[in-house]
Chain A
Amino acid sequence: MVFLNSCLFTEKIKNTIIFVGLVFFSSITTVSAETNPNKPKRIVSINLCTDQLLMALVETERIISVSHLSRDPSISSFSGSANTLHINYGTAEEIYHLKPDLVLAGEYSKKNVVGVIKELGLNIVTVEVANSLKAMRSNLLKVAAVLGEEAKAKILVSKIDNLFLSKNTYAEKPVAIVWRARGLTDGRGSLVHDLLQAHGFRNLSEILGRGAVGNINLEQIIIARPELVIIPDPKQDYPSLSQLLFKHPALRSLDRGTKPWLRIIKIPEWGLICGGPQVLKAFEVLASARLDLLNNKQTR
């Protein structure tokens, strides 16, 4: 029984992992659809990350439905406007009923749903994980082509480029870590890693030899003494087992104390979950944290 249950669970886990760990910075590559001369006007998105790209690129009149997760203010950057939009739970039946001319899905959206939607003859575009700034950038342009919004995308991309590619002039490279629920971290080969590097941080996850997605426990953080620990800031205060970690007294005792070698900052979770224009928010927060750190060093 136990084993059977756990087998059934793995499928669920796979789907959930999308949101929790792996696809924190996913963005888009076109898989099946070609550039559309006539802009799609009835667009449905069934993935939180495609929801956000859609909101950034397209006027809401053309969106007929977004995923239900987009109403959650802690993981969605546009939860406010999502409240007025129709939401779906990603089942083939409800999507078919909406008669969309374009469906956007994530790479890890339920495989059976994507298959059925294809069989029903709907135009579906699946989204891949962007593991780097470069991938996120080119995917943004590609999906914009599908939506017929190349001009908008170009403005966004140049904005991102200006921020990321401006060479940082910091001589010192303090150690930082993005520490997520259940101790998950982003190492080399992730967009977060690129983000940290752009601000002249060394990524603790990389120093400890973790892959693109790794796991670091509280003991290791306390011993490694990174100068900056970045944790998600849940806007919605629902009870969460995996967020309890951030309330552990051992972590907080490092933040205060007489020898504060560790600084903890919070970034809105939606700024870290998906690779899209909302990453700019995370960029701002990191930039100010970097300045703070510099100023503190000087005054000390």
Chain B
Amino acid sequence: MEHDNKSPVAYFPYPGLLFLLAALVTVLFIMSVFWGTVSIPAITLLDVLFGDNSPSAIILRELRLPRAILALAVGASLGMSGAALQGLLRNPLAEPGLIGVSGSAALGSVIAFYSGLSVTYTLALPVGGMIGACFSVGLLYYLAGRDPSILTIILAGVAINAVAGALTILALNLAPNPFAAFEVFFWLLGSLTDRSMKHLFMALPFIGIGVCFLLSTSRGLDALTLGEDVAFSLGISIKSLQARIVLGIALAVGASVSVAGVVGFVGLVVPHLLRPFVGYRPGRLLIPCALGGAALTLAADIVVRFATQGPELQLGVLTSLIGAPFFLVLVVKTRREGR
């Protein structure tokens, strides 16, 4: 498959790429733990290990660590989901946020939360998110799977987003809490501030399973670039491939949104940046995108802490500010290529 290496950077060694990205993620992770509104000396790490109850230790253990791990997990699942979705639909514009997967996951979480279900069953929150996400990916594939042109995908995304948005408002209007709409407005902008280990344990298992599902599609996605018939003749079961991707995205994105809100555009920006480095092979793109997504989200989550004077900037606002111009350029580019 060496013939589709269009770009000179395609010869960038794959292990080298993975190593660089992993190093970047590690550095950002450490920065995320030690940098914040209050700076903490690295020596405190020892206190944390010995179970100290000093303020710094508590901040590290109960606030910074879950926050950094969540940023890593959420970023990885968004980056990888974007890459997988784009591979499946063979379209670089498919992104969990844009096509309404995140919005639907948010709807599921909002219903699980404000109906009081998540008070009784903690797991109702991620499960609600995953059901919402699963429903929207399925719907998208039904609407655009056969004809994955830009227009169909974007229109399907607009429709799904509109329905999810309307139903979310409906759910909020019916919620007993008079401040529900206000709270969710901020939550929909995405944030990792003041999350606890509880959120981590709630979301991480599902994100892990989702990522495993997606990783298993690597070979299938590569084969799919040659068309469904060729992929079939190579021994790829298209049905199983689709099912694993839909399920993987639903688990990873659904669980992510239920703890972090909607963090948009990560799944669009990261695959686009990294695609030339893997020779445009969607299967190979998965792991670099997970690492890249984690790096972008960790970096953005550090920037929001310092970007404003008063309350922290919302994470999703920052990623959207970065991602929206990207999206515009991509639309123009894809249209030109399509002609």
Whether the pair B182, A13 counts as a contact (CB closer than 8 A) is: yes
Name the distance in Å between A1's Cβ and chain B's nearest Cβ.
Answer: 7
**Counting CB contacts under 8 A, is B186 at the interface?**
yes
B299 to nearest A CB, angstroms?
A: 19
- Most chain B CB atoms below 10 A, which of A17, A19, A183, A239: A239
Asked if B182 and A16 sit within 8 Å, CB to CB, the answer is: yes
Stretch at the interface among A29-37, A115-123, A126-134, A210-218: A210-218
Q: Is A291 an interface residue (CB 8 A)?
A: no
Task: Take A181-B179, A240-B177 as given contacts and tell me if A248 and B55 are in contact as well, using a CB distance cutoff of 8 Å.
Answer: no
- Chain B residues contacting A214 (CB-CB under 8 Å) are 310
Partner of A240, one of B179, B181, B193: B179
Q: Are B176 and A236 in contact (CB under 8 A)?
A: yes
Is there an interface contact between A225 and B55, defined as CB atoms closer than 8 Å?
yes
Chain B interface size band reads: 35 or more
**With A239-B119, A250-B58 in contact, do A220 and B178 touch (Cβ < 8 Å)?**
no
Contact B179 A20 (CB under 8 A): yes
Judge whether B215 is part of the interface by a CB distance below 8 angstroms: no
Q: In this assembly, does B337 line the interface, its C-beta being within 8 Å of a C-beta of chain A?
A: no
A257 to B36, CA, bound (A): 24
Partner of A249, one of B62, B177, B184: B62
B22 contacts the other chain (CB 8 A): no
A222 to B175 Cα, complex, angstroms = 33
- Chain A residues with CB under 8 A of B312: 217
Question: A234 vs B245: C-alpha distance in the bound complex, in angstroms?
Answer: 43
Contacts of B56 in A (CB 8 A): 223
Contact, CB under 8 Å: B194 / A222: no
Task: Please give the distance in Å from A73's CB to the nearest CB on chain B.
Answer: 11
Give a binary string over B91-117; 1 marks a CB under 8 Å from any A CB, 0 the rest.
000000000000000000000011110
CB-CB nearest in chain A for B62: A250
Given contacts A181-B179, A218-B63, contact A239 B113 (CB under 8 A): yes
Residues of A within 8 Å of B184, CB to CB, are 241
In the bound complex, residues from chain A placing their C-beta under 8 Å from that of B182 are 12-13, 16-17, 20, 242
Q: Which of B36, B38, B177 contacts A239 (CB 8 A)?
A: B177
Contact, CB under 8 Å: B118 / A239: yes
Could you tell me the distance between the alpha carbons of A259 and B158 in the complex, rounded to whole angstroms? 54
A215 / chain B contacts, CB cutoff of 8 Å: 310-311
A69 near B: Cβ within 8 Å? yes
CA distance A242 to B37 in the complex (A): 20
Does A295 touch B at the CB level, under 8 Å? no
The majority secondary structure among interface residues of chain A is helix
Classify chain A: how many residues form its interface, as a range: 35 or more
The minimal Cβ–Cβ distance linking B266 to chain A, given in whole angstroms, is: 15
Judge whether A81 is part of the interface by a CB distance below 8 angstroms.
no
Query: Known contacts A217-B37, A217-B193, A240-B177: does B59 contact A223 (CB below 8 Å)?
Result: yes
B62 touches which of A13, A220, A240, A248 (Cβ 8 Å): A248
Query: Residue A254 at the B interface, CB < 8 A?
Result: yes
Chain A residues with CB under 8 Å of B165's CB are 5
B149 within 8 A of A: no
Q: Mark A179-197, 1 if CB is under 8 A from B, else 0.
A: 0011100000000000000
Q: Flag if A248 contacts B38 (CB, 8 Å).
A: no
Determine the distance from Cα of A281 to Cα of B185 in the docked complex, in whole angstroms: 32
Supposing A225-B55, A241-B184, A242-B183 touch, asked if A248 and B194 sit within 8 A by C-beta, the answer is yes
Pairwise interchain contact A240-B55, C-beta atoms closer than 8 A = no
Q: Chain B residues with Cβ under 8 A from A257's Cβ? A: 53
- The interface bits of chain B over 29-50 (1 if a CB of A lies within 8 angstroms of the residue's CB, else 0) are 0000000111000000000000
Task: Say whether A241 contacts B113, CB under 8 Å.
Answer: yes
For the complex, give the distance between the alpha carbons of A1 and B327 in Å. 14
Is B198 close to A, CB under 8 A? yes
Which of chain B's residues has its CB closest to A211's CB? B310
- Mark interface residues in A246-269 (1 if CB within 8 Å of B CB, else 0): 001110011001110000000000
Residue ID in chain A nearest B197 by CB atoms: A249
Extra contacts besides A182-B186, A218-B63, A219-B63 (5): CB < 8 Å: A183-B194, A220-B37, A223-B38, A238-B114, A249-B197
- A-B pairs, top 5 by smallest CB distance, nearest first, are A250-B62, A215-B311, A16-B182, A241-B183, A238-B176
Residues of B within 8 A of A (CB): 36-38, 53, 55-56, 58-59, 62-63, 113-116, 118-119, 158, 161, 165, 175-187, 193-194, 196-198, 310-312, 320
Report 14 cross-chain contacts, Cβ distance below 8 Å, ordered by A residue: A13-B182, A17-B182, A181-B179, A182-B186, A182-B311, A183-B311, A222-B55, A222-B58, A223-B55, A223-B59, A238-B114, A241-B180, A249-B198, A258-B53
